[in-house]
Structures are given as C-alpha cells and as structure tokens.
Amino acid sequence: MTAFAVVVFVVLTGCLGQGNQKPVATIKRDTTITTKNAFTSLTLDSAQVAKFINSEVKNDSLGKKIINFYYGRNFQFAWFNEEGFSEQGAAFWNLYENQSDLAGDTSFTGIQLHQQMQKLLGDAENFITSAEISFMELRLTSHFLRYLQSLLNTSLNPEDMQWFIPSRKIDETAMLDSFIDHGNKSWTPLNSNYYRMELYLEKYAQIATRGGWQAINLVVKELKPGQQNPAITAIKKRLTTIGVYNDSDTSDLYTVELSIVAKQQQEDFGFDTTGKITDGLVQQWNVPVEERIKQIKINLERMRWMPETPDNWLLANIPEFKLHVFEQNKEVLNMNIVVGTNINRTVIFSNMLSSIVFSPYWHVPFSIIRKEIMPSMRRSSNYLVQNNMEITGYANQIPIVRQKPGKNNSLGKVKFLFPNQYNIYFHDTPAKALFNRRQRAFSHGCIRLGQPADLANYLLRNDTTWSMPRIKEAMNAATEKEVALKKPVPVFIVYFTSWVDESGHLNFRKDIYDHDKKMEAHSFN
C-alpha cells in the first residue's frame, strides 16, 4: 500500500469504522426522492443498471451493492449533474488516481474508464458523449465501491453512502442537522479543518436562531481611527454578534480596540490590513448569516473528500490566491499566487512535487500557439525573435514553439513540477505587479508564485549542495537545469471559499469560478 493510500485508509477508517463482511440485502427503492429534491435531474433506469452489471460486474456482491446504491438514490446519477462532472466526482477521482492502490487497474473496463476520464478532464472542450455518460457513471460507482472495499473490511449500507454522495437537496431546517447532528460522529473526516469549521457552523446557526445581524449603512467613503460616525455603533454591534468585540462598548467612536479587530476582519476577508473600514469590508459584513451558513456548509462538503494531511505539504487555495507551506503541520511559509482566469481555470487536484527546474524553457501549449502566437507571427515576422522564442518542429502544420531562458521568459526564472494530465505547475513570472492586486486570476491555468526563490530554498533545505546564493545563480543562468527532490512533497490545489486558518479565524473569499454557486443550486431547496 502506498503512503497516500495509507492516509486515505486512515481517513476512511476514521469515517466509517471497521467490521466484518456481511451479506448484502436488497433494499427498497427510495421514491421519496423526486425531481424537485434530487441533487440532479439526471437518472438511470433499472435496465441500464442491469445491463451494466451483466456485462461488466463479475461479482454478485458488488452487483447487489451497485443496485442498492442506486435504489437508495431513486436511480439519480451520483457523479454527474446537468453541468457535467460534479465536484464530488472530481474529488473521488483525485483520491482514486493519486491515493489508491487500485489506480493501476489494467482490466479492460479499468483502462476504458481511465481513457474516458482523461478525455473528460484533460480538455474542457472535449466532453464525453451522452451515450458514454451512463456507463461511465456506473463504472465510477463500481470503482468507488471497490475502492472502499479494498481499504475497509466492511459493507456500507445506502445511508452510509449518501453521507459521501448526498442523494437529495437539503432544506434550510435540515441543512444544519446533516452536519451538526449527524447520527455517527465517528464518520466525520480526520481532516482537522473540518472539525474547526463544524464549530463555526454551530456558532452561526445559533446567531441565525437569534435573528442574525442587521445591515450596516455606511454613507461615507471610509472610516479611520479617531472618527465618530453613527455607523461605528452598528459595526461594533455586528462584531459583538460574532463574538470578536467587547459588547460593553456601544459608542460611535472609532477606538484603537476597534481598529485592532477591524484589521483582523480585513485579513479574514482577504483585504489589506489598513485598519480603514471601507465599503468593501462593510459589504462583507452585510452578507446575511443564512448565506454564510450555506457557504460554510458548501466548503464542509468539499472537506469530506480531503484526506488527513501529511506532516509536510503544500496547499494552494485558489480563491485565497495563496500558497501555504506546512512542516510538521505548522505553517512555515506562505506567499501570494496568481491563478487561472475564469476562462482558463486552475484545476483542483493533488499530486507530488518532484523536481525544480531553474532557468526553464517555456514549451508553449498548442492552445496558446493557435490563439495567440500564430496570429502575432502573422502580424510581425520578428515576433519570435523579439520574444526570445524559437520553433523546434511542427505538428499537424502547427509550429512547436518554446521560449528560451531569460528575464522575460513567461515562466520567470524557475518552475516546480508535479507531473499531471492538466499540465499545471508552479512557476515564477516577470509580471510581478500582479501580486499587488487583491484579485489575482490572470494566468492560463498554471500557478505563478510571488516568492519562488523562497520556495526553492525551502524544498532544498536538506540538500547541503544548495544554498540561496546558488539557487539565485541557477535562476539567472543561460541554460536550463532540473533538480530532482530527494523526497517529493505532496501538493494540494484546493478551492475553499471558507475555512478556518491556523490561528482559529474563520475566513471567507469570493467564489471566483462560481463553484459555490453551482454546488448551492444542487444542494439546497
């Protein structure tokens, strides 16, 4: 069993407990799940399930589990919705591919599924056909059940499974019960952030029960320490409601104490910590508590699929525009990052960072060559020379272009590789000014680093042949040099718009890719 598989084994054992194999009894179809309360309107029929089991499932027990799984969902899809592949589907596939001993399935159906998934995930414009969806849905369920069975000596009933892959939307009154009062607390993940988020969910639920908070009316451009304004009293009341300010102070004076809390609030919402209360911060305070509860719940849903993190790891949170470096589960380094635009979105996945490339060539992706390089070449015959680029060959009459190492190289002076099908990696950039912006979604999908030399220095800290002066020398060389890490480091690229940081503060960020919006549509009545 691989190290990552061990991690997931611990997670799922903690979630579900262990037991002996039991006979699988057929359950009744749950007809209370309707088109109005189902997570998705996409459905299978019993004939499709039977055909799949007869053609691809050779194990009677597994076949009955598949039937039970879909009976418990009233035959609605688990892994796809109207928009395509669901977040739960992507999360499971990420675990399966990178953290499972079953990932190397060489059976005919295993190879077919991997080919379909590469087609689905490798190119957003190359979605699978409708004829493939049903069998792909069923193959994923088969793999999911086999995946759990390979790690746990137990049978899961449909109610257990729905905790991982919910079958119906949640109404406002039941929403909190699904997290706070879940029947078996031992099922909750071992990821520590999940527990911290649960505490805040309970806290915000209590605030909602008491009537929530009133909107703040800020009629001036900003408020500074020492000023007096009626809005300051409302701000103090709002901060008192969430328990971060002294409820005995109800004056309209902007005090030093309020400035300290305001700076922390700015940090919690991703603003510069100036201490000046602006309309942007007030807008965040004015989001109703019910909406914040939904946001917390959506991110708890994502955390169900997060494994227990290893001791040393990297985490890039897309909506936060930050990379965090953890050693022995303590943050030792963080930096601003630039992520993909809404059109060229950075993909959510995990992998192992295995090497550093100093003074790299930039091998330009064909999509950029077609859309940007070739039109520029037609406009100017000197385009390639001016941009330190060269053609190294042709593929289907499209030039293969790379940019040479240098100060204007689009990858900057260093890149960090964790090989993946999405061709995403960390890298430096000559466009340093972008790191000063609050919203930093400007790349073609890769992640640009604000302090790449510091990350290289950290990753090579145990290699006595590398020092910061040598790293900077390699970053400014005229030739490319790749250095393999002695011990690869896990990398998690995540999408959390709400989380609890290492200091225990609840954070919120903008839903830059509308992932929250889509999940909300499928999660709530």
In DSSP notation, 251-317 reads: -SB--HHHHHHHHHHHHHTT----S-EEHHHHHHHTS-HHHHHHHHHHHHHHHTTPPPP-SSEEEEE
The band of 184, judged by pLDDT with boundaries at 50, 70 and 90, is very low
Mean pLDDT of 351-371: 95
| pLDDT band at residue 190 under the 50/70/90 scheme | low
- What local confidence, expressed as pLDDT, does residue 92 receive? 86
Contact 475, 414 (CB under 8 A): yes
Highest mean pLDDT among 18-32, 62-76, 168-182: 62-76
pLDDT for the residue 478? 93
pLDDT for 174 equals 52
CATH topology of domain 222-287: Muramoyl-pentapeptide Carboxypeptidase; domain 1 (1.10.101)
Q: Average pLDDT, stretch 105-130?
A: 69
61: confidence class by pLDDT, cuts 50, 70, 90: confident
Closest Cα to residue 161, out of 27, 349, 2? Answer: 27
The whole-number average pLDDT for the span 459-482 is: 97
Domain 305-515 has CATH 2.50.20.10: no
Higher pLDDT, 421 or 295: 295
CA 427 to CA 421: how far, in whole Å? 17
Q: Where are the beta strands (DSSP E) in 36-162?
A: 80-81, 84-85
Report pLDDT for 35.
79
Looking at residue 160, what is its pLDDT? 56
Amino acid at 56: E
What are the residues whose beta carbons fall under 8 Å from the beta carbon of 230, sequence distance 6 or more? 252
More confident residue, 209 or 100: 209
Q: So what's the pLDDT on residue 310?
A: 84
Domain ranges of the chain: 3-168, 222-287, 305-515
Most confidently predicted of 73-77, 298-302, 383-387: 383-387
Entry pTM: 0.85
Share of the chain above pLDDT 90, in %: 58
pLDDT exceeds cutoff 50 at 12: no
- Is a pLDDT exceeding 90 seen at residue 111? no
CA distance 197 to 204: 10
For 99, other C-beta atoms within 10 Å of its C-beta total: 21
Can you tell me the mean pLDDT for 78-86? 87
User: What's the distance, CA 272 to chain centroid?
Assistant: 24
Query: Is-contact 472 464, C-beta < 8 A?
Result: no
- Would you state the pLDDT for residue 87? 87
Residue 122 or 335, more confident? 335
Distance CA 440, CA 435 (A): 7
**C-alpha span between 224 and 69 (Å, rounded):** 58
Joined tokens for residue 353: 């960072």
Mean pLDDT, residues 399-421 taken together: 94
| pLDDT-based confidence at residue 449 (cuts at 50, 70, 90) | very high
Per-residue pLDDT band for 178 (boundaries 50, 70, 90) equals low
pLDDT, averaged across the chain = 85
Q: How far apart are CA 269 and CA 292, in angstroms?
A: 12
**Position with higher pLDDT, 108 vs 474:** 474
CA-closest candidate to residue 481, choices 356, 363, 340: 356
Burial 71-82 (b: 16+ CB within 10 A, else e): bbbbbbbbbbbe
C-alpha–C-alpha distance, residues 488 and 297, integer Å: 33
Please state, in angstroms and rounded to a whole number, the distance separating the CA atoms of residues 112 and 197. Answer: 38
- Expressed in angstroms, the distance from the first to the final Cα of the chain is 42
Sequence-separated (6 or more) residues with CB below 8 Å from residue 143 = 96, 102, 105, 110, 113
pLDDT at 332: 97
Q: Which residue has the higher pLDDT, 26 or 38?
A: 38
Q: How far apart are CA 289 and CA 293, in angstroms?
A: 6
Do 426 and 400 touch, CB atoms closer than 8 A? no
- 222-287 and 305-515 share one CATH topology? no
For residue 196, give the amino acid letter.
R
Residue type, 320: E
Specify the higher pLDDT residue, 494 or 522: 494
Provide the pLDDT confidence category of residue 110 given band limits of 50, 70 and 90: confident
DSSP bridge partners of 481: 358
How many angstroms separate the CA atoms of 525 and 520, rounded?
A: 9
Altogether, the residues listed in the chain come to a count of 525
Q: What is the DSSP letter of 348?
A: P
Of residues 181 and 474, the one with the higher pLDDT is 474
- Give the β-pairing of 426-427 and 441-443: unpaired
Contact by Cβ (8 Å): 270, 438: yes
